[in-house]
Amino acid sequence: MHLGPCQRLIVPVLCVLLCLPAPAAAASAAAVPAAAHPASAASAVAGDTSSDGPAIGAEVARLYEQAARASATYEQGRREAKKQRARALRLERLIARERDEIQMLRANVGRVARAQYRAGGGGIAYTAKLLLADDPQELMDGHRLAWQAELAVSRMLDRAQRAERRLIEDEQLATAAWLDLEARTQQLATIKRTVTAKLEDARWKLQGTADRSVAAGRCAGAVRPDEQAAPSTRPWVTPVEDYELSAGFGGEGARWKSRHTGQDFAVDIGTPVRAVGAGRVVSVACGGGFGIEVVVGHPDGYYSQYAHLAGVMVDQGERVRTGQWIGQAGTTGNSSGPHLHFEVRLTPHLGSGIDPAPWMRERGASF
């Protein structure tokens, strides 16, 4: 509808008198919440993130444990198969020796039989031999010795044959067990590949959720896995169990303003990060150069920081024990790839870091 100049002046006045927003003002007011509160939209995304994050994190933790168990079982099965093959080879060598001995025994039996035949006098009956012999007693003793020798050889041959049958049965059992172990090893390898593939997919889902959480500036809830690391018997441990060291303390690089303030551990996304020592979680933060980070205060007055995480497993104020899982490694914040950034600090804040390598070495947890 087209309004004239006078109408454009009267309409706002009437709207004020009637306590209604003017058309232009209403449009502006409708636009203000969206423009003045961009965090609201981000909070909605973060809300989704906070609900999805712990679930995905727990799934990664579960798959990580499944992959570790599958790998351990696979290695155990492989070692058992190797032992079973060695046993089968030993049985085969033993059977070969027994067969050689049996052939020797059979040859001896043949010689005895031929000797008896030659001593038999060309078919003369044993009674006639006794009557014609110059010394019947000597003949009887010789015949008895020959009979005893034949009986002994026959018994030896029988024992060897029984042993051969037993060894053949053992070989068949060993071969069957070996084949079973081979099939089981292949099955375990398939399970391991499947779990690893699922874990890899879940890892990147976790990282995507973490990136959205950092972008929103709001941490998702703590992941509470069904399984936790076994309590450590040592007062201090390394922050991750299996790793490769990358950037060290004091290094220089384009990604750092002055120098590197900690020690980096190259690990996969989702790798459990553990508290190096007992203490209390003083902060859990999301955003900034460190991405998702956890800081733990220790009773001796030092602090440890764990940064670039993909998920957290603790809340601020929570007490933690040595080796307890407190987060999952990732690549959030100012990060060039999946790793854990670890610092030892004199205060909870950036800028108070000291070289963590000698500090950990003094506590019996070298890396």
Q: How many CB atoms lie within 10 A of CB 2?
A: 4
pLDDT value of residue 15:
43
Q: List, in sequence order, every residue forming a beta bridge with 342; answer none if it has no partner.
A: 263, 306
- Contact criterion met (CB below 8 Å) for 328 and 314: no
pLDDT value of residue 347:
96
Burial 211-233 (b: 16+ CB within 10 A, else e): bbbbebebbbebbebeebbeebe
pLDDT value of residue 23:
43
pLDDT value of residue 61:
79
DSSP string, 63-86: HHHHHHHHHHHHHHHHHHHHHHHH
pLDDT digits (tens, 9 = 90+) for 188-222: 778 778 877 887 888 888 888 889 888 888 887 88
Domains of the chain with CATH codes: 42-225 (1.10.287), 244-362 (2.70.70.10)
pLDDT digits (tens, 9 = 90+) for 312-358: 999 999 999 999 999 999 999 989 899 999 999 999 999 999 999 99
Low pLDDT (below 50) residues in the chain? 1-3, 5-50, 121-123
Report the C-alpha gap between 57 and 50 in whole angstroms. Answer: 11
